[in-house]
Structure formats: structure tokens, C-alpha cells
Amino acid sequence: MTTNYFQGLNNVAEIKSQYRELARKFHPDLGGCLETMKTINLQYHNALKGENNKEYDGHTYKYNSKTEQDIMDKINELLKLNDIQIDLIGLWVWIRGETKPHKDKLKEMGCYWHSKRVCWYWKPKGYSGSRRTNPGSLDELARKYGAQTFNSMGTKRLAAV
């Protein structure tokens, strides 16, 4: 019998939070099992499909398998870096903490430096967000779009958004 890793979760934020916890525990690059991770990935996409077109906090969730997979892949890649905090705010991934030693790797990974927010970010290809720049802080963006925060393996606990 296969475990349903996403049973009983109530919204997209809970599903994504559960996915990140499971990825830290079961990802093969972090000492986990490939077959278990494949099952988790399939169940993750199925759970998100079930949330398509539901409204949360004034925003309607639109499931896009390519975008979700790109975000999963990027987060899994970032989890391998030490001493960083990863914030998923809407569809953008923000990277804070001890990023200086990872500067070249972050650039290789397609991340960009945001001079006003003084941290790195990554966004899915073809996604620019709003046509105008949002002048808000990360806290304001998190309140507007929803956020999940987590740390890379073996890191000290950093302040949440």
C-alpha cells in the first residue's frame, strides 16, 4: 500500500509546505530514496491539480504543471546549498542568508541579485509577474501573494519573512 503524502491538506500553501518537508527528507541527492521521491512528485502534482481554480486570500490558484515542476526543481537544487533561507512568495523564489559563498552557483542556476531587496531571486521562465515593479518589501509581497519559508540542509535557523 502506497502512503498518500498529501492527504488531509486544505490548500495550496499546505501542499507546497508538505512537499518541501518531504523533499528535504526523501530527495535522493540528500540521502533519500529515488522511488519514494517519484511517488511524492506524482502525488504533489495530483494534489495541486485538485486545487485548480480555487480562490485563496483573494487570488485564484491556476495549476500549471510545467511551472510547478520548474519551481520544484529549483527548490530541490537550492536545498543543496548551505546556510541559506529560501522563501517561496507566489511563484518567485527568494534566496537569503549566507549567499556570498554561493554567488557564482546562484548565477549558474539562473538566479538574479535584487539590489533593493538585497537578496537573490529566481522566477519561472516566461513569468514576469506584474507589468510594473512592486515596490513592496518581502514581507508585503508575502502578505499579498502568500509565502512559505524554509532553510537548506544543515543550516542555522534564519528569521522568517
Write down the domain spans for the chain: 12-151
User: Cβ(91)–Cβ(71) under 8 Å?
Assistant: yes
Q: Do strands 55-56 and 92-97 pair parallel, antiparallel, or not at all (unpaired)?
A: unpaired
- First-last CA distance in the chain: 38
pLDDT in tens, the chain (161 residues): 678 999 999 888 889 889 888 988 888 877 888 899 999 999 999 999 998 888 877 778 888 889 888 998 998 899 889 899 999 888 899 999 999 999 999 999 999 999 999 999 999 987 765 555 677 888 888 887 777 776 765 433 333 33
Strand partners, 148: 88
